[in-house]
Amino acid sequence: MLPCRSRIDSAITYYESTFVLQAKALVLNNSLLEEQARNPTLVNKRSFSKLQNKVCLITGGSRGIGAAIAQRFAQEGLKCILVSRSMVELQKSCAGLPGLDHKARFGDVGERKFWVELGKEFKDVDILVNSAGIGQQTLLVRTSEEEIDQIIRTNLIGTVYGCQIIGKNMLKNKTGSIINISSILGLRGSSGCAIYSASKAVSKTSGFTKALAQEFGPSGIRVNGIAPGYIDTDMIAGFSEAMRSSSALKRPGTVSEVAEAAFMVATNTYINGSTITIDGGLSFY
**In a 3-state reduction of DSSP, which class is residue 52?**
coil
Contacting residues for 256 by C-beta, under 8 A, at least 6 apart: 68, 72
Reduced 3-state DSSP string for 207-272: HHHHHHHHHHHHHCEEEEEEEECCECCHHHCCCCHHHHCCCCCCCCECHHHHHHHHHHHHHCCCCC
Could you confirm whether 270 is annotated as catalytic?
no
Other C-beta atoms lying within 10 Å of the C-beta of residue 226: 26
Using CA atoms, how far residue 36 sits from 29, 40, 42, 65, 149, in Å, is: 11, 5, 6, 24, 45
Choosing from 161, 196, 230, 270, the catalytic residue is: 196
Contact by Cβ (8 Å): 90, 61? yes
- The C-alpha atoms of residue 88 and residue 242 are separated, in whole angstroms, by 33
Contact by Cβ (8 Å): 233, 62? no
**In a 3-state reduction of DSSP, which class is residue 20?**
helix
The set of catalytic residues is: 196
